[in-house]
Structure 1
Amino acid sequence: MTSTDAALPHLVVIGGGFAGLWATRALARAPLRITLVDRSNHHLFQPLLYQVATAGLSAPDIAAPLRHILRRQRNVEVRLGEASAIDAPGRRVTLADGSVLGFDYLLLASGATHAYFGHDEWAAHAPGLKSLDDALHLRRQLLLAFERAEACDDPAERAAWLSFAIVGGGPTGVELAGTLAEIARHTLKDEFRRIDPSSARVRLVEAGPRVLASFPEELSEKARRQLEKLGVEVSTGVPVTAIDEGGYRLGEEYVPARTVVWAAGVAASPLARSLGVPLDRAGRVPVDPDLSVPGHPHVFVAGDLAAVQRADGSPVPGVAPAAKQMGRHVAAAIRARLQRRDASAFRYRDFGNLATIGRMAAVVDLHGFKLSGLLAWWFWLAAHVFFLIGFRNRLVVLLNWAWAYWSYQRAARIILGGQGDDGPPAPRT
């Protein structure tokens, strides 16, 4: 670094997800020094994370090293580390290794973690899906369940191993349930000698009145029917009240099940608490219209960590398009600060909702233009391939999906880890 570079204003970006990465890339030609800090060395395309968990894709298919993505952006330094505290008035970020980064501007985009609604003890028995570590652990757990059932002599115990529950009827829960049913009924066909994988019970549990509550009711009902056609039991209107190593309690009914997956809720990264500002009920930071923190105009929050309202008063959803838009807006706001101009207010452009249910089954809502079934599935596939980072990722994902479509096979069906690796990944705090 030259002395001229060192004199430039310093932007620290915490989080290499959609918001952090899109802001960083939008500032490629800005007169700034940028330090991007992330606990992982890669950017992850989270909408396809469930495909890694269900053995349809490998980890590198939906992730790319941050250093490689930013290799030609000369004003960026990538730092592998975890932020542990923020001193907003003092303009300092402390990392878990004890090192301190000073900043002129800060973008906090550290995302969200699992929320168990006051029952954190459930995490040990019902893993969630937010990182590649989560996905690889879940893949191991799902595939091992069939292996354990094959080796089991007790019919009741075998049935428990072949009982799967996904808690949460949002897009992630729907996608997981539909894909798991396809694995049991098609992918594993004829591969076992003592069990029939198609007898596996896959149940999607939603405490609310319907699955995909953010979609129009018409599409929600079509999604339910498509799930049931795949063999998924859809349970709505009754919450899960307990989860342990043997199963879960649905209302007053206890259901033996050795595999429960949590897709019911998220909470903001606890790092937001160190800002010392009021947070909303989900732990998110209510921000000013330009996405800066009230009282700290040099600190910005974007992505799942930001509590932002649309013009009609409804919250901006925690989805990838919103995070990308916030990242680009923060970049524009920082440029305005550098030029001593007022930054404009953030306005979210909602392009619609997509969710896939399974093979040739999906639902699409584009502001009144609704699709379901095969056409929706092709639309969903094209959209997700298009938004992947890098030509290699797009090509590999497209080839893997084409192979899975014709053969019903899933290319990444390898169980990794040793006998002592059955526990969930360490929590991300």
Structure 2
Amino acid sequence: MKVAPLPDDEAQRLAALRGYGVLDSEPEADFDELTRFASELCGTPIALVSLVDAGRQWFKSRVGLDAAETPRDVAFCAHAILQRGVFEVEDASADPRFADNPLVAAAPSIRFYAGAPLVNADGFPLGTLCVIDRVPRSLDALQRHGLEVLGRQVIAQLELRRKLADLARARDQALAGVRAKDVFLATMGHELRTPLGGILGLSELLLEGPAGGQDGVADDLRAIQRAGSHLLEVVEDILGLAQLELDQPRLRPRRFDLDELLADVEATVRPLLRGRAVALNVGRSPTPVEADPTRVRQIVYNLVANAIRFTERGSVDVTVAREGDTLAVRVRDTGVGIPREKLALLFRDFSQVHGDHEAELRGTGLGLAISRRYARLMGGDIVAESEPGRGSTFTLTLPLAPAT
């Protein structure tokens, strides 16, 4: 018996084979169909997809054979991978290379063998698609060509299998990254919100106490409060954008009236009016809407807080009106206004439409972009109208609740 020599590039060939992650995998129908077809095409009782490993040949697919693998030193396929084209042995018992091979002398009593090398795109022969018979014979030209074609299909299936595995790994890595990012954002949000909330609460208490009556101290406390509020808004905006970018957030729409929500927003923004000659007027409406109240509150707060921030004197008016099948919440102010050419920039991420002289009023440039995204996810929208020096109007539309 002649043992097949190792290919010159054996180390690279084995690395290529193992790169497919297919050795010792479970049977797969796509490979089994090709093996059955090879058996039928060539009229042989045995057909195999054989992959030649370091010390064995392992069968990814087999027809007519119980063994899952055999030693490499007795493998016909170890000879077949040393050449291109179909390797054919018409009568192994009469061939000095194989006559005393245990696979010939005993079960499965191989006489005829034909194997098409499975050569990948890099030129490495991974194994063979082979057919085996227990009687001497040969293939005709059509059968030889068919065996080569089926061998190329086996390689195509191996490549497809590897691409799918690579995609699955990439997906898992991406999901792991998203989960890690979610954990980081949640932790960061908690770690930042908690101390900022404490700072704002303490400064509010001090302003309401004896220290609030001392001009210098009161000014410092208000500066602390403004800085803390600004930083909290930045944190909320960054976390809000991250949530939208990571995945579409889970909204919880339900039927509710805006009255309580508007009253809550009014109470929340009242501290922003300190030191400003601005009247805040908030209307009410018993008309029910169908939306996520948490997101609606976030949007309305953002619109009203922005209006106050950019209005030094005059008023900020919040009105609610039914318009067709929507409810429109309008926030009008008498503030600095926005140039017409900059209106289109309002809802872009990180966009700033005010000049450097208003730098102390500027936020992250995310609040309106996030608000519009949430509004549209809920079936509504936000539009803006403005005139420099005369103020702005932002309109949030929300779908009305269906009649009960």
**TM, length-normalised to structure 2:** 0.19
**Higher relative CO (CA 8 A, sep ≥ 6), structure 1 or 2?**
1
Higher-helix-fraction structure:
2
Q: Which has the larger radius of gyration?
A: 2
